[in-house]
Amino acid sequence: MNSNPTSGNKTLNYRLRTNQQGICLDVWEDSHAFTPGQASYRFFVTYQLKSADDAQAILDRYLIANDMYHAVPSNDAVTPIHLRTLAGSQS
């Protein structure tokens, strides 16, 4: 078990997106110690999965392994600041 007393205060953000292969699960933790020009998240990862049940299993395992209690669903408009900036610069 994680002995970090603040670990239970962290929030895991996730977004589910359907595609032809099944489900994309985006997962990230916010970073509260970022400055302009840096990422607003500790990490960002995307999984390609066959089903929503597979996505739920990954979320459940992550929460348990990292002693976290909160997973917040995000819609397509909610993206970590650094990724949103990078996506906007791709046009």
Chain segment 3-44, per-residue pLDDT in tens? 444 444 677 889 998 999 999 999 988 777 767 666 677 888
Query: How sure is the predictor about 77, in pLDDT bands with cuts at 50, 70 and 90?
Result: low
Whether the per-residue pLDDT at 51 is higher than 70: the answer is yes
CATH class as words, domain 7-89: alpha beta
According to the model, what pLDDT value does residue 46 have?
Answer: 94
**Paired tokens of 8:** 């239970």
According to the model, what pLDDT value does residue 80 have?
Answer: 54
Q: What average pLDDT does range 36-57 have in this prediction?
A: 86
Q: Where are the domains of the chain?
A: 7-89
Where helices occur in the chain by DSSP H, the ranges are: 52-65, 81-89
Strand, helix or coil for residue 28? strand
